[in-house]
Structure 1
Amino acid sequence: MSSAHAYAIEVQGNSAGIVVANANHFIFYAADWAFGTLDRKTFRSPAHAERAARDVLLRRTGEPPARPLLS
């Protein structure tokens, strides 16, 4: 039995997308058009993907997120 590793990425209560493990990286799939610039980009970890999603939100709103969900 194989197991897939997928993680939901949320920023400020917004579902940004999911990251799915693939070889030695994670692929981001956007759940909302606001995070479309990240769709299918690769990241070293779910935390890196979350940081990128927070940066996208910061550029859109000008307000930093309250706190990161992953450390």
Structure 2
Amino acid sequence: MSDAYVIEVADETAGIVVRQDSEQSYRFHASLPRYFPLDGKLFQAPRDAERAALAQFGQRPKQKVRAA
């Protein structure tokens, strides 16, 4: 049996965290590109994953540098 929790940030689903029977931590599975940097990372608790997703949401996307 596994434990799974949906992680939502600002009315969007950032992803889910899942813990399998044999794992002590939760693995993040991103659902939107802005949260891909968190995909596959392990967290001790779902709340820790939510905090990381909130921090990721607050980061601005990197802008491409244009040649003049």
Q: Which stretches of structure 1, 4 residues or more, deviate above 6 A after TM superposition?
A: none
Aligned pair 1:46/2:46, yes or no? yes
- The structural deviation recorded for 1:59 is 1.2
TM-score (normalised: structure 1): 0.78
- The structural deviation recorded for 1:60 is 2.4
Aligned to 1:64: none
Aligned to 1:6: 4
Aligned with residue 18 of structure 1, among 16, 19, 27: 16
Corresponding letter in the other structure for 1:13:
D
Q: CA RMSD in A?
A: 1.2
Corresponding letter in the other structure for 2:45:
S
- The structural deviation recorded for 1:26 is 0.2
- The structural deviation recorded for 1:19 is 0.2
- The structural deviation recorded for 1:4 is 1.5
Q: Write the deviation string for residues 18-42 of structure 1: whole angstroms up to 9, x where unpaired.
A: 0001310000000001100000000
Same amino acid, percent of matched pairs: 39
Structure 1: 5+ residue runs without aligned partners? 62-71
Instruction: State the SS of the aligned residue for 1:24.
Output: coil
- The structural deviation recorded for 1:53 is 0.1
